[in-house]
Structure 1
Amino acid sequence: MISIHEKTLQDLEFSTVLEQVSEHCVTHLGHLKTLDIAPLKNKEQLLKELQVTNEYLSSFYNDNRIPNHGFDTISKELQLLKIENTFLEPHSLKKIVSISLTCNEIVKFLKKFEIYYPGLKAFSSQIEITKALIESIDAVIDRFNDVKDNASPLLNAIRQNINKLKGKINSSFTSALNIYHNLEYLDDIRESVVDNKRVLAVKAMHRRKVKGAIMGGSKTGSIVYIEPETTLLHTRELNNLEYEESEEIVRILKQLTNFLRDYLPLIENYQLFLTEMDVISAKARYARSIDGILPEITEEKNVYLRDAYHPLLYLNNLKKKQKTYPQTIELDQESRIIVISGPNAGGKSITLKTVGLLQLMFQSGLLIPVHERSKVSVFDRILTDIGDNQSIENQLSTYSYRLKQMNFFLKKCNKNTLFLIDEFGTGSDPELGGALAETFLEEFYARNAFGIITTHYANLKILASEKPEMINANMMFNERTLEPMYRLALGQPGSSFTFEVAQKNGIPYGLINRAKKKIERSKVRFDATIAKLQKERSRLEKTSESLKINEKKKQTEADKLEGINEKIQKKLESYQELYDDNQRLIYLGQKVNDIAESFFENNRKKELMGELFKLVQIENSKRKKVTAKEKKITKEKVTQVKKEAEKKVDVIREKKKKAKEKAIVVEKPKPILKVGYRVRMQDGRSVGSIDRIEKNKATVNYGLFTTIVSMDLLELVEAVTLKK
């Protein structure tokens, strides 16, 4: 059974993630429910939660957006429905109508688009679609939240009597108003309204002359408001009718509320369903904000987080417009435990927290910000020891607290456990603390647990290099600038760069040298070797990155050429089809032309007509075999190819035209034309001979006719000498 300790949630700041998720809720109940999200204890339920969240996320990127799920909370209405002899007010009834309509719309939508949202469809199948609630309430309450006149025959009759009585009251009041106005007993304003009743604005000096009930007066005392005696009797009757009306309304509302009590479980399910939809929507919207996805879930323990981001750091840096560095890390059977080392402020702790927080989010049904080729597994326990855990209340030091944590780890640790320990072994004497930490790590290893620790202790780095299923890792460091690169490199331990960082921060070189002499030479040599290896790895990383970029460029070029080749091949095929089609038409044209030429010269006209008819029948039978759809496709294809060909021909013609215009015409030496020379017009085809020449004009004989042409327009074909 999956069980995640509350301390783990605190260490990894899981509550902060939930607060960010809850900001995407649109209802109060959804907001509260989101804050209560916790790692799921059942794997089957976890997979369902992940599926529906992933489906909702996909709705943001397709044309089938899930309908709005917002609603007004009906918790108070549900409480009243549980109490007998109570009734719901019209506005409360309308809230139930609204929530019913929303549920019905979403359930129908998910049923219609089940192929896109199978998980959400299965989740919504528990909700019954009914119009009974909506119809029963709409039959009684109008769109202004008032009880309708036809809600009952008695209410209809009472309201008709009220309207008639109000008419009588208005008529009586108008009559009294006119009488007293003519007597000049009224003030300039003539009338006013007091307690929702029309009253006469009588001058104070005439108040005894007006019969009726005094309802009040002006602040100055110059006006007395009087309800005329003629309307008093009708007003009392109106009060009685309005009381009867209110009693009938209460009776109708009680009757309707009693009807709704039979649907109480369904109405409760409506609110629960929409609350859950709000939570799912909030998780999907949060996933979109952090580029979260659902990675591959493996049965065997294999965690491969590629380009993983810490969501809190990512969103915080996004606001500040700062870069967040992703990490790639893998835990599997061959490397169950990773020992991360390297300088402080290099990103060791944030890498540890990233793995832990993403694992918590995944096991709570949240999508995580990783590359799509990442893999995750479910762990029964996630144990953490992160940060300064002094307990003033229990009078425990940091180290004492950490020892208690290690004892707890030893009790719970097994092959289904993921443990995360930051600065393992600190808080005590380095040698003694390091030895104890090494022993704990050996025990975790022996129990086949999975885990990540960060440390500066050399003995833990050596242990990781000796154990086959344990691996060292280091945070990359720029050896020139001594600045952290915030990238994790698996396979080698990291140097703490203690003296280098001290030198960068301005500590005198002499003091650093003295410090070096105070420690064992082997320790310095060991740390220097690690630093050298780390620098070498950094260089190899750069070379590898450069090779990858070049390889990517080559692949892009190859893909581009392949694409161009494919396009050329398709165009050649299209042109070949067009050529074949044109050749067929030319063949048909030639056949028809041959028959036409033979028709008038041949006596076998019937035979030629039969041959023509046969040719038409063959062509027609070929065309009948082609469907209308195929004809349309072929026609469109031919039209498109023709257009493309025409465009290219136009371009070629334009190029030739421009080239011709630019070309320098080399003038040929003008030959001397004489009588008898065979000539033709420039750019002409017909050849004639010169009969005579007069001035700049030549008479050219073409056989059937002669013409006089300017000598400048003629060109020599053949010089013929006349025989004398």
Structure 2
Amino acid sequence: MIYPKNFEKKIGYDEVRTWLKGYCLSTLGKSLVEEMSFSADSKQIATWMEENREMRRIMEEDDDFELSGFYDVRDSLKRVRLEGTWMEENELFDLRRSLSTIDSLVRFLYRGEPIEGKTDTEDDFELKKWSYPALHDLADGIATFPVIIQQINQIIDKYGHMRDSASPELHGIRQELARTEGSISKILNGILHSAQSEGLVEKDVTPTLRDGRLVIPIVPSLKRRIPGIVHDESATGRTVFVEPTEVVEANNKIRELEAEERQEIIRILTKMSSRIRPHVREMLDSYHFLAEIDLIQAKCQLAKTMRAVEPELKAYPYLDFIAARHPLLERHLIHAKQAKEDSEVVESQKPTAVVPLDIQLTPEKHILIISGPNAGGKSVCLKTTGLLQYMLQTGLSIPVSERSKCGVFKDVMIDIGDEQSLENDLSTYSSHLLNMKVMMRQASAQTLILIDEFGTGTEPQIGGAIAESVLDQFCKKGTWAVITTHYQNLKHFADSHEGVVNGAMLYDRHEMRPLFQLSIGRPGSSFAIEIARKIGLPEEVIREASDIVGSDYIQSDKYLQDIVRDKRYWEQKRQAVHEQEKRLQRQIDEYEKGVTEVEKQRKEILANARLEAKELLAQSNKQIENAIREIREEQAEKEATKKIRAELEQFKQDVDEGTWKKPGKRSSGILSDEDFQKKVAQIQARKQRHEQRKKDKQAEEQQAAKVLRDTLGKRHQDAKREIVVGDAVRMRGIQSQGRVEALDGNTATVIFGDMRTKVPLNRLILTDNSASTENSDRPKTKMDELKEGLKQYGISRMTQETIDDHRKNFHQDLDVRGMRGDEALQAVRYFIDDAILMGMPRVRILHGKGNGILRQLIRQYLSAEPNVSHFADENVQFGGAGITVVDF
């Protein structure tokens, strides 16, 4: 069930339908677009999705698939079913082209690979694994008509005209017609030349055709000089068209021949139609197949434009849209952006891109209550859910992430907008109540309900109460729903009932602008007070309104805002951690690449060593052979023999000591054994040093961890007691330590090194060095040893040195004008850290006005910094929006 009747218009599906028609190749596909309807059959929807996937794969990968020849001749085919009727030449021409397209599509979709060992035993038919199974099912059983195509080709040429060879009679008629027209042309040309020579007709005049007869244009005053029949005159009356007497009979004969030609063509067309008539029913089925292909390719073209996919489908109610985008809103923004670029108009307040939404409904949390500020995107979120689910269940791909999972609903109902009716005597609230009545009666555990501004239109208390009661009925029935509201009681209802979950449209309260992001799990604030203050309502009015609603309401709204702010902060931190992980992965990849290079070099060294060994062996054999030969040549004289033996012993000694080098290869670049051994020794020593440093570092870390654990244990014990004079403390967010000099109510005077500052007590934390000055002479305890252990690692000393170094050059103003975004952001980070370290209550950042990019980046960082309590524009007299004042 789809409720109400104008459901498609309310969610924008009628615009999507019109958009889809624009991609159809003919009226074949457009007619099926009109017939598209909502389906609750999960198998049918799965088939539609698979058809879309296969068609997109074909269009992207297969060049043999041509989408041409889509012509709708169904009306002509239905007409020709009557005896004695015929199809005209242009209709036969379109029939031939479209039947050829059907034939090629069927042959293409019957492609496949044989399945080994599987045949149909009755027909000995080889079974195949089809390349595109879903589309093959559409083509299965579709008749093709190659004989009809061939017969049409015999009588219709490639331009859609009847061939002369369609029949012997037609060929003879056209030959006689050509001869007669040729004789008329000769006669007219002769008459025309004679008239031109006599000055009756202008030199540039040629015969023309009027009412199918060849005539000569002539001036009215001279029309009697050429005997013949006047057929017509020009609009100005300055020219008359005369058919000379000599060609009247010939023109009459042409008329007769043309009539005979037309009769012969009709006879041929009638005969062709009689051949087509027995196959009209099968042809109409084939054209329905062609229409389905046209529709599927249009769906794929639309999906490509919308960057849509076919998500994972479940056969039961379920909804998990990841990065969902409203296609019509995205299309509008793209067109608006193009128009803006053309007109060079800048509207910075309007969004220039669709913010993707993550929307999830599960059996455990099947009702989503969305709250948040006005114009924050609640209604867009609602319409996005309804439109995408409806598109999916009508067979369209949807613009979501491929990781999305979607289920199937039996009913989809919506209540959005003002439905007041003068005819039915319905007010706005009455129309909403009527919708609620229908929804409660028809809703089930397979129904998806979409309600915008639930309970509005009447007095808030009773409207909220009725809305809560209706919502309770939906919960009992297990209905699935997405509901937007501002009512606090509905937000509390979601927290106290199973199956219901709160969601918030995020809002930047510093920039006072919506972020159009949906966060599920916490309710959202309407930011009514902040928005009222932004637009300039008197503070007295805002204060009185706050008193009327009470402090509890204001405080709960503030808590909601703080939750949203904290969640944004941790999301930014999570993103930073993710970026750090990616950076570490890149470094790991580089190290692995380096190890691969080292292994490659090692293999090259070993290969060179083997080559050197072979050359050494060859040189040894050569040296021995030379020695033997010389001993023989010297006839074994003692002195010569001793000399040769000495040279051989020296060669052996060089080899053993590793000082031998290949002759003539001094600069070959191959390491000697000695150099190679040195390199190996260096690598081993470096490896040993690295391992020793690693062991030392682990020992130091273990020792430091032990000291810190013991120290933190003591700190936890002391955390519960109050801060007194003499305690060692530090400020939240920094590690520098100081000592309490004096206490004044909720404020403490603390000495950090040589600097004395006043700090609220709630910003101070006791450290493990908390000891009174009176106990400085007592014997050392185990805690004192732990303190000395911490000092051994340089924590306090390094912090103190940092404070001293930054204090000397610190200024309360930072100028980032002219810097790039990343440079300015880095400078601001260091500046804020130094300001916190110095205990400054207020600083100023000069970024200039310009296009506001630096200002936006800096304030985005400040909104996520926990130690920043407030920031705003400087007073107009001192710089205004070009300077940001930051308070801590």
Fold shared, TM-score > 0.5 on shorter chain: yes
> How far does residue 446 in structure 1 lie from its aligned partner after superposition?
1.1
Aligned twin of 1:657: none
Distance 1:140 1:439, change over 3 A: same
Following superposition of structure 1 onto structure 2, how do residues 468-483 of structure 1 map, counting pairs within 5 Å? 468-483=498-513
CA–CA separation in structure 2 for the residues paired with 1:296 and 1:223: 75
Aligned twin of 1:690: none
Following superposition of structure 1 onto structure 2, how do residues 36-185 of structure 1 map, counting pairs within 5 Å? 36-64=35-63, 66-112=65-111, 117-163=132-178
> How far does residue 224 in structure 1 lie from its aligned partner after superposition?
6.1
Can you list the C-alpha shifts for 1:297-356, whole angstroms capped at 9, x where unaligned? 123433111111111111112223312111112111221111111221222221122111
- SS of aligned partner of 1:73: coil
CA–CA separation in structure 1 for the residues paired with 2:456 and 2:222: 99
What value does the CA root-mean-square deviation take over the aligned residues?
A: 4.0
* Residue 451 (structure 2) pairs with residue 436 (structure 1): no
2:329 maps to which of 306, 313, 318: 313
CA–CA separation in structure 1 for the residues paired with 2:599 and 2:62: 32
Q: Partner amino acid for 2:110?
A: K
> How far does residue 214 in structure 1 lie from its aligned partner after superposition?
4.0
CA–CA separation in structure 1 for the residues paired with 2:564 and 2:601: 56
Aligned twin of 1:301: 317
Paired residues of 2:173 and 2:260 also in contact (CA < 8 A): yes
Aligned twin of 1:634: none
Aligned twin of 2:811: none
Distance 1:162 1:477, change over 3 A: closer
Can you list the C-alpha shifts for 1:681-714, whole angstroms capped at 9, x where unaligned? xxxxxxxxxxxxxxxxxxxxxxxxxxxxxxxxxx
- Structure 1 residues not aligned, in runs of 5+: 602-648, 653-724
Paired residues of 1:340 and 1:453 also in contact (CA < 8 A): yes
- SS of aligned partner of 1:453: strand
Aligned twin of 1:19: 18
1:257 maps to which of 263, 269, 273: 273
CA–CA separation in structure 1 for the residues paired with 2:603 and 2:139: 51
Q: Partner amino acid for 1:243?
A: A
Distance 1:553 1:419, change over 3 A: farther
Paired residues of 1:475 and 1:486 also in contact (CA < 8 A): yes
Range moving further from structure 2, 40-49 or 183-192: 183-192
> How far does residue 549 in structure 1 lie from its aligned partner after superposition?
2.6
Aligned twin of 1:669: none
CA–CA separation in structure 2 for the residues paired with 1:110 and 1:345: 50
Paired residues of 1:54 and 1:367 also in contact (CA < 8 A): no
Can you list the C-alpha shifts for 1:360-397, whole angstroms capped at 9, x where unaligned? 11111111111111110000011211122222221111
CA–CA separation in structure 2 for the residues paired with 1:554 and 1:484: 34
Aligned twin of 2:716: none
> How far does residue 201 in structure 1 lie from its aligned partner after superposition?
9.0
Paired residues of 2:310 and 2:398 also in contact (CA < 8 A): yes
- SS of aligned partner of 1:370: coil
Q: Partner amino acid for 2:138?
A: F
CA–CA separation in structure 2 for the residues paired with 1:437 and 1:371: 34
Q: Partner amino acid for 1:409?
A: M
Can you list the C-alpha shifts for 1:191-232, whole angstroms capped at 9, x where unaligned? 84565556689999999999x85456986799964232xx66
CA–CA separation in structure 1 for the residues paired with 2:33 and 2:440: 33
Aligned twin of 1:632: none
CA–CA separation in structure 2 for the residues paired with 1:537 and 1:204: 94
- SS of aligned partner of 2:501: strand
CA–CA separation in structure 2 for the residues paired with 1:524 and 1:182: 104
> How far does residue 159 in structure 1 lie from its aligned partner after superposition?
3.7
Aligned twin of 2:496: 466
Aligned twin of 1:393: 423
Distance 1:579 1:411, change over 3 A: farther
CA–CA separation in structure 2 for the residues paired with 1:70 and 1:579: 69
1:349 maps to which of 376, 379, 403: 379
Distance 1:586 1:197, change over 3 A: farther
Following superposition of structure 1 onto structure 2, how do residues 498-517 of structure 1 map, counting pairs within 5 Å? 498-517=528-547
Paired residues of 1:425 and 1:434 also in contact (CA < 8 A): yes
Paired residues of 2:509 and 2:530 also in contact (CA < 8 A): no
- SS of aligned partner of 2:79: helix
Can you list the C-alpha shifts for 1:375-432, whole angstroms capped at 9, x where unaligned? 1000001121112222222111111111111111111111111111111111222222
CA–CA separation in structure 1 for the residues paired with 2:595 and 2:135: 42
Q: How many residues align?
A: 595
CA–CA separation in structure 1 for the residues paired with 2:239 and 2:542: 98
Q: Partner amino acid for 2:45?
A: L
Following superposition of structure 1 onto structure 2, how do residues 267-286 of structure 1 map, counting pairs within 5 Å? 267-286=283-302
Aligned twin of 1:245: 261
Distance 1:424 1:167, change over 3 A: closer
CA–CA separation in structure 1 for the residues paired with 2:241 and 2:446: 89
Can you list the C-alpha shifts for 1:108-157, whole angstroms capped at 9, x where unaligned? 33333786533223222343233112111111122343322322233334
CA–CA separation in structure 2 for the residues paired with 1:192 and 1:270: 50
Distance 1:452 1:258, change over 3 A: same
CA–CA separation in structure 2 for the residues paired with 1:57 and 1:69: 16
Q: Partner amino acid for 2:397?
A: L
Aligned twin of 2:244: 226
Paired residues of 1:215 and 1:227 also in contact (CA < 8 A): no
Distance 1:553 1:246, change over 3 A: same
CA–CA separation in structure 1 for the residues paired with 2:240 and 2:456: 91
1:364 maps to which of 391, 394, 397: 394
TM-score (ref. length: structure 1): 0.72
Distance 1:4 1:115, change over 3 A: farther
1:375 maps to which of 405, 408, 411: 405
- SS of aligned partner of 1:531: helix
- Structure 2 residues not aligned, in runs of 5+: 113-128, 338-351, 630-667, 672-888
Aligned twin of 1:692: none
- SS of aligned partner of 1:25: coil
Paired residues of 1:302 and 1:376 also in contact (CA < 8 A): yes
Q: Partner amino acid for 2:306?
A: I
Aligned twin of 2:360: 330
Aligned twin of 2:864: none
CA–CA separation in structure 2 for the residues paired with 1:81 and 1:252: 14
Q: Partner amino acid for 2:145?
A: T
Paired residues of 1:11 and 1:385 also in contact (CA < 8 A): no
Distance 1:495 1:139, change over 3 A: same
Larger Rg: 1
